[in-house]
């Protein structure tokens, strides 16, 4: 374990915590107080740490995502589990609000050639989000939905080019996890920098 | 409090929890077991709930954001506090990694006319994120940085148009909070739908 810590740059206490929490598979035991860890453990450790510390995911969410990555399910199923875990539980909305939001988002999806299905956790999250924005009276944000959707199409092309560049299938799933969790953070940060610059341009006194 | 609950649609137990946690200012006490709550309480309650339940922020982060919104500081200072609270603490990176990441991101920022300063929490978050992506070996994601930055510029224009559409100054700060927290969720969701559609286009067997 000391070697695993040195190799990955992650403290022994943190590794023990990840093992206890079931995020990292146990090493191959070679004596009562020694175990062998391989390259895969080092990779997995780095992935877990990135998801927890940089991506800000909870240990419970990482456990779900890691279990899906390790399973023998088809890649699209793994990605579905990951999206569900990342999206969180849906927020309660009234039937009237749901109908309005589904109409708004469904029309947008059709325009962009996207699927918008009730049982998709992402669709549920979007319904809750647009309802909350409307309840807060921020119609101006909803007025920009079309522009946000155009930008989403553009960024999805870059996202998929990233995935295409990865050769092997098991690395593709990992790349999608990294691209989703860290890619969202990365883009959120760039968006902040661009917003700050645009704010300075428009409101020079800020 | 029963009326406040009916008006806001938020259970009394949740309102009491927000009061205890210091997220919501106390009402004006009119008798030992009655207090008067105004329109502002209803607004604030809806905002808190949206940030916690839809935005997924911790109660501690919401407390920081709300205190900043309520303070008499200049809008840009409030937005700075909010960005710091949302961005979280910086991740440790080695000096060598930091130098590499700062070089990469600094060049990108210059190209786009953005400020990239060491003491900016967003800059710290971006440094940690690109270092984690590199450590995981996902260079393909970093190869797309330029495209992500172009898209960030486009979305920042839509974001600022949203803010411009808000009239009064105290609503501007709230609009920026909503636009940042819920706007990020909204865009992340649209990005997922666009990715799914593009995935289906490229890998029809998925």
- pLDDT per residue over A29-39, tens digit each? 888 888 888 88
**Which helix H or strand E contains A36, and what residues bound it?**
strand A34-36
Domain A2-54 indexed as CATH 3.40.50.2300: no
CA distances from B118 to A94, A98, A193, B102, B127 (A): 45, 44, 13, 9, 10
Model confidence at A82: pLDDT above 80: no
Asked if the Cβ–Cβ distance from B162 to A144 is below 8 Å, we say yes
Smallest CA–CA distance, residue A31 to chain B, in Å, is 31
For B133, the closest of A83, A128, A182 (CB atoms) is: A182
Judge: B165–A157 Cβ closer than 8 Å, yes or no: no
Task: Determine contact, residues B23/B149, Cβ cutoff 8 Å.
Answer: no
Over range A108-125, report the average pLDDT.
Answer: 91
Can you name the CATH fold of B2-85? Multidrug-efflux Transporter Regulator; Chain: A; Domain 2 (1.10.1660)
Domain chopping of chain A, boundaries: 2-54, 86-202
pLDDT per residue, tens digit, chain B (206 aa), is: 888 888 888 889 999 999 999 888 888 888 888 888 888 888 888 889 888 888 888 888 888 888 887 777 777 777 777 777 777 777 788 999 999 999 999 999 999 999 998 888 899 999 999 999 998 888 889 999 999 999 999 999 998 888 888 766 667 778 888 888 888 889 999 999 998 888 888 877 54
- CA–CA min distance B20, chain A (Å): 23
Mean pLDDT, to the nearest integer, of A169-181?
Answer: 80
ipTM of the complex: 0.84
Residue of B61, B107, B143, B193 to mutate when probing chain A, most A C-beta within 10 A: B193
Which residues of B fall within a CB distance of 8 Å from A155?
147-148, 151, 191, 194
Contact of B118 with chain A, judged by CB distance below 8 Å, is answered with no
Place of tokens 């996207």: A114
End-to-end Cα separation, chain B, in angstroms: 52
Q: What confidence score (pLDDT) does residue A17 get?
A: 92
Q: Does B182 touch chain A (CB under 8 A)?
A: yes
Q: Which of A8, A127, A129 to mutate to test the interface with B (most CBs of B within 10 A)?
A: A129
Q: Which residue has the tokens 């207090």?
A: B35
Give a three-class secondary structure readout of chain B. CHHHHHHHCCCHHHHHHHHHCCCCCCCEEEECCEEECCHHHHHHHHHHHHHHHHCCCCHHHHHHHHHHHHCCCCHHHHHHHHHHHHHCCCCCCCHHHHHHHHHHHHHHHHHHCCCCCCCCHHHHHHHHHHHHHHHCCCHHHHCCHHHHHHHHHHHHHHHHHHHHCCCCHHHHHHHHHHHHHHHHHHHHHHHHHHHHHHHHHHCCCC
């Amino acid at each position: 374990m000391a070697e695993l810590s040195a190799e990955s740059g992650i403290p022994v206490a943190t590794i023990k915590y990840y093992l206890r929490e079931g995020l990292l598979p146990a090493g191959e035991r070679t004596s009562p107080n020694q175990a062998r860890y391989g390259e895969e453990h080092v990779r997995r450790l780095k992935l877990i740490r990135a998801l927890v510390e940089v991506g800000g995911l909870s240990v419970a969410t990482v456990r779900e995502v890691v279990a899906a990555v390790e399973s023998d399910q088809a890649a699209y199923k793994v990605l579905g589990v990951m999206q569900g875990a990342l999206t969180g539980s849906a927020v309660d909305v009234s039937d009237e609000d749901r109908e309005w939001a589904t109409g708004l988002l469904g029309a947008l999806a059709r325009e962009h050639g996207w699927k918008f299905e009730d049982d998709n956790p992402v669709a549920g999250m979007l319904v809750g989000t647009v309802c909350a924005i409307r309840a807060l009276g921020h119609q101006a944000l909803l007025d920009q939905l079309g522009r946000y959707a155009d930008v989403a199409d553009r960024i999805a092309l870059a996202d998929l080019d990233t995935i295409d560049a990865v050769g092997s299938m098991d690395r593709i799933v990992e790349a999608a996890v990294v691209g989703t969790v860290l890619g969202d953070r990365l883009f959120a940060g760039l968006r902040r920098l661009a917003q700050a610059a645009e704010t300075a341009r428009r409101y020079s006194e800020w």
